[in-house]
Structure 1
């Protein structure tokens, strides 16, 4: 082969690498754009609906719960739509739909419209997450998906922090115009994300006729359902720092109130610095299962240290550090498992189904964990940690079962 041909191949490889880097950069930019808006919304929305709209807290909680419940149901069919019609186009449409829902919140003045808009918001957000995961799977090589997903998670945390800071400014001002400005910012952030996603290459849809099995095959995939359930149990760590620990600090410790902010700073900062590094260690299903098992053990340790925080608030800082390590280990393992065990032509619906774990944790976690921890005290913390440990240990056999249902039995040796 001539030197010119070799040089041409080398240039082609570099061009492909440059294109891949550009696609990852666009994914990160889109993630950052809408996460800034999300951060502002999460900080201000409850106060806006209570103080400006005048909805009772019970109605706010019920409306948001119904919205996420509807969204969790819609995630699978919307993910399926992304598989069949093209992940990029569906992701862009759902980003625009999310922006429309946020704008609609600005005109809500009573409970019934609030519930309708909350359902639209939850549906668009859940479907967007599924479509974006399908888009990521379509433009990123399988061996790099977990690392890219980790980088996007770090970007998301950075955007949420920026948005939360802007939300804090709106809360300080406390005026209707300040809240409405933040809602408008959230809507614009999703429109910017949609425009950025349009710059990605289109992912070729898979026609239904060429895909064997039922339309929503994930609903009949029992091993994947078990994996999703295990992940949902592990995701109950999510309300700890935002709901449970602040209440625990107020009722059971003498720690100053600023410690809550310090715990959140430890969490977001650690994800920004270390999530990608941890994700690089995961190279296949065996590593992923091990990472989830380690996450369960670290979360158990975090719960034990949280229980000790009645003896000094320094234990809270140690526990928060342990919890974020468990969070990052879980994320890296769960991403690899969710992508690796989903058929390439059904990534959208499988990611939509796997993502229901987040909705379940958001809906049920605050009530369940508040009752368990604040009602049970030290015993409640220990029981919660034991649940995390057991769920983490259960992931390996569940992943092995799922793998064996997809491959020849002899291939199961790869996981042993």
Structure 2
């Protein structure tokens, strides 16, 4: 489905960029062929290594080293997440106004400074200030990064490039996590603070390179929508009901990430006879398969009609995964591991499909002149889905066993299948342009 805007400037990538869709990476070594993607991959690699380092020990630093109460830390992180969700759309508007490269660089640099401030935290008030700033800035940057990729990556390979960057993220996070586990085993203040500083540098360092990313041809051709434009045009995304509907449905599917990170470890420990190391096994399976599958899957689902199919299949596969996870309760340890692993494989297929479909629709249904606000809305929806995920998974699957898994599976299936009607609704607006 291709819809050309009638009253807004189309994305002219089709006239100034090659129509042929070439792979973004080489078969040998998986090196990107696009120099812009190579630089973006370097930024992603450095930042993801830092995030992976910090991920295993973040909460433990504040509880074990600083001495804060775990419940209070969790509440503070929730508040910080809410700030991040609320900041997503204004940050996107700033990207439209001053350029996504400049705003992304400022947000990353600010995140690095705020993260470094963790080493100075000694009180709960200090923790709140630091975590709200760091988490809020990082979450606000999610939509801005989407707008950044819209500006610097060619339209024809944008979704595949996002998939490549996600592969880099998974591999780097895994490697960083290994070294983070070493710091966790050392378990000293010096080990924790070293990891925190390295994570801060992983934001602040790459931020210096972001402004040097060159604009793609279609972004150079596209006229900007400045502050003199009507407010209704500048903030169109917040009243675009079809786009908001797709955003909400995508947010429901995003709950699958916290299902893997939070729900499954709890389920394994509390409801099955599988050994506890099964949670680590499932995470390894997830990271490995995402790294292998995300790029080729994205290559096949980078058009609107195929993205709709991907989202529908994702919802159905998530429902199947939920059913398989539920079956693991009551099985012997060996068979419980087998069932959980099988469910994780189905889960990964759903994950790579929904990621590819979400990227495609998030760009294709947006007004190309105000990608910042649109990607801010879409990113805020993803953030909200990940924030709501732990509570939703706990209330359903962990709280009610098989019945809860069934309810969660039905929710995923309904959300995935509803994407088609929502996109058809969006298609009735004649100003949208696929590829913007």
TM-score by length of 2: 0.87
State the partner residue of 2:423. Answer: 399
Contact 2:242 2:425 in 1 (8 A): yes
Per-residue CA shift, 1:73-121, capped at 9, x if unaligned?
A: 1011111111110111111111100101101111111222212222211
Q: Distance in 2 between matches of 1:295 and 1:207?
A: 35
Per-residue CA shift, 1:307-341, capped at 9, x if unaligned?
A: 11122221000000110110000000010000111
Closer/same/farther in 2, CA of residues 358 and 407 from structure 1, 3 Å limit: closer
Deviation of 1:126 (Å): 2.0
Deviation of 1:406 (Å): 3.5
Tell me the secondary structure at the aligned position of residue 162 of structure 2: helix
Q: Distance in 2 between matches of 1:50 and 1:406?
A: 54
Tell me the secondary structure at the aligned position of residue 404 of structure 1: coil
Tell me if 1:239 matches 2:261.
no
Q: Distance in 2 between matches of 1:50 and 1:189?
A: 23
State the partner residue of 1:30. Answer: 43
State the partner residue of 1:8. Answer: none
Deviation of 1:210 (Å): 6.8
Tell me the secondary structure at the aligned position of residue 201 of structure 1: coil
Tell me if 1:319 matches 2:343.
yes
State the partner residue of 1:9. Answer: none
State the partner residue of 1:59. Answer: 72
Per-residue CA shift, 1:213-245, capped at 9, x if unaligned?
A: 343221111111111110111111111122111
Deviation of 1:166 (Å): 1.6
Contact 1:66 1:118 in 2 (8 A): no
Deviation of 1:20 (Å): 7.4
Tell me the secondary structure at the aligned position of residue 382 of structure 1: helix
Q: Distance in 1 between matches of 2:408 and 2:124?
A: 35
Q: Distance in 2 between matches of 1:126 and 1:223?
A: 24
Closer/same/farther in 2, CA of residues 197 and 407 from structure 1, 3 Å limit: closer
Deviation of 1:354 (Å): 0.6
State the partner residue of 1:149. Answer: 162
Q: Which structure 1 segments of 5+ residues have no match?
A: 1-11
Deviation of 1:299 (Å): 0.5
Deviation of 1:282 (Å): 1.2
Q: Distance in 1 between matches of 2:139 and 2:259?
A: 22
State the partner residue of 2:29. Answer: none
Contact 2:50 2:200 in 1 (8 A): yes
Q: Distance in 2 between matches of 1:280 and 1:69?
A: 34
Q: Distance in 2 between matches of 1:79 and 1:122?
A: 16
Q: Distance in 2 between matches of 1:330 and 1:33?
A: 25
Closer/same/farther in 2, CA of residues 197 and 335 from structure 1, 3 Å limit: same
Q: Distance in 2 between matches of 1:224 and 1:128?
A: 20
State the partner residue of 2:14. Answer: none
Which of 84, 91, 101 is the aligned partner of 1:78?
91
Contact 2:302 2:356 in 1 (8 A): no
State the partner residue of 2:13. Answer: none
Tell me if 1:199 matches 2:212.
yes
Tell me the secondary structure at the aligned position of residue 169 of structure 1: helix
Contact 1:29 1:196 in 2 (8 A): no
Question: Which structure has more helix as a fraction of its residues?
Answer: 1
**Cα RMSD between the aligned structures?**
2.1
Q: Which structure 2 segments of 5+ residues have no match?
A: 1-16, 25-31
State the partner residue of 1:266. Answer: 285
Closer/same/farther in 2, CA of residues 209 and 179 from structure 1, 3 Å limit: closer
> Which contiguous aligned blocks of 4+ residues in structure 1 show a shift greater than 4 angstroms?
17-20, 202-205, 209-212
- Would you say how many aligned residue pairs link Structure 1 and Structure 2? 396
Q: Distance in 2 between matches of 1:191 and 1:114?
A: 20
TM-score by length of 1: 0.91
State the partner residue of 2:414. Answer: 390
Which of 280, 303, 308 is the aligned partner of 2:322?
303
Show the 5 A alignment for 1:34-45.
34-45=47-58
State the partner residue of 1:7. Answer: none
Show the 5 A alignment for 1:73-152.
73-152=86-165
Which of 348, 353, 378 is the aligned partner of 1:329?
353
